[in-house]
Amino acid sequence: MAKFTKFIKIIMIHSMTGYGKAVTTIKDTTFEIEVRSLNSRFLEISLKIPSALQANEYEFRELIRKKVKRGKLYVTVSMTENGQNATSFVYNKEKIAWVVQTLKAVKKEFKIKDDLQLSHLLGIRDLFASDSDTLASDDFEHIRAAMEQALDNLQEMKRSEGDTLQKDLLKRIDFIFENLTKIEQEYQKNLTDYMDRYRQRVKELVENVTQYNDRMELEIALLTERSDITEECVRLHSHLKFFRETLGQEDAGRKLNFLCQELNREANTIGSKAITSEISHVSLQIKEEVERIREQVQNVE
């Protein structure tokens, strides 16, 4: 039997998990950029950058949004000078003096007994700053290029993991397709026998079959309709085809997650209408495979 995946062009998908890194050196200062990505329904960006780059935070976030569509991203920019962490600070003496005087006035007016501590000052922005709080625009362009490189490295890893993920998903889709074909064949082979057994059972329960013959045939016709899985099989085929086509599209993860719900719904209905134990068993296998696919889909961007 030809595999389902042979009928549709293969498209690449991206995993949501990955790691990227890049380094750039400006004079005696080295900037190391690390990007980690985890699963998330939406794009969430956690950005940790030195104070020298705070003014450029928006540009970093916009660059990230252009490169990544979904996932929880942890982006860290670390800064070292001459091999040492850039941790030297300066303080605004005049502003600190004004803040201390103001806090003392507040204590006196409101009769606050707590002592003034350094931690109270550390919580106030602009009192302390790094020696490297100024950065030339040309220097920022080098850092921006390094950020872009780290994101590209992240995307490359996500593509690599996505390739493995895609192969696994295609294998599972093939499995469902082949088992769906088994169900259709089993249904066609056993439908007549199933109805004959039902008719015979009615004859055993009713002494005068002739008197209820019309009613019996109507009930059998209704039972046949209730046991018909043709529509479910057609929809399941359609969902499998659409699942395959959706791989690699924008926001594929959300669409594939929805399709998993539909695949499971049709498999449930087929199982509830099963006229043989074989159909019931195979439909259960399909449901188990859909659940495995659903778990994998959570990692598709």
pLDDT at 220: 60
- 69 lies in some domain: yes
The predicted pLDDT at position 17 comes to 93
Q: What local confidence, expressed as pLDDT, does residue 44 receive?
A: 95
Confidence of residue 7 (pLDDT cuts 50, 70, 90): very low
User: Parallel, antiparallel, or unpaired: how do β-strands 29-38 and 18-26 relate?
Assistant: antiparallel
For the segment 52-71, the average pLDDT, to the nearest whole number, is 91
Same domain for 22 and 156, yes or no, is: yes
More confident residue, 176 or 277: 176
In terms of pLDDT, which residue wins out, 208 or 245? 245
Residue with tokens 């030809």: 2
Contact 96, 127 (CB under 8 A): yes
Q: Is 208 helix (H, G, I), strand (E, B) or coil?
A: coil
**What is the pLDDT at residue 13?**
83
Highest mean pLDDT among 190-194, 274-278, 294-298 belongs to: 294-298
CATH code: domain of residue 33:
3.30.230
Please report, as a single letter, which amino acid is at residue 38.
L
- pLDDT confidence bin for 252, thresholds 50/70/90: confident
Contact 283, 270 (CB under 8 A): yes
Supply the mean pLDDT for the chain.
Answer: 82
Q: SS3 of 125, please?
A: coil
Residue 61 has pLDDT above 90, yes or no: yes
Determine, yes or no, domain membership for 2: no
Q: Are residues 93 and 173 in the same domain?
A: no
C-alpha 49/C-alpha 118 separation (Å) is 24
User: What stretches of 24-136 show up as alpha helix (H) in DSSP?
Assistant: 57-67, 93-110, 118-122
Q: Which residues of 141-152 are buried (b: 16+ CB within 10 A; e: fewer)?
A: eebbebbbbbbe
Query: Quick one: pLDDT at residue 160?
Result: 92
Does a structural domain hold residue 251? yes
For residue 28, the model assigns a pLDDT of: 82
The three-point CA angle 157-163-165 to 5° equals 100
Supply the pLDDT for residue 227: 74
Question: Which of 110-114, 221-225, 243-247 shows the lowest per-residue confidence on average (mean pLDDT)?
Answer: 221-225
How far is Cα 41 from Cα 300, in angstroms, rounded to an integer? 10
pLDDT over 70 (residue 202)? no
Interatomic CA distance for residues 229 and 176, integer angstroms: 16
Owning domain of residue 99: 89-122
203 and 278, same domain (yes or no): yes
| Same domain, yes or no: 77 and 146 | yes
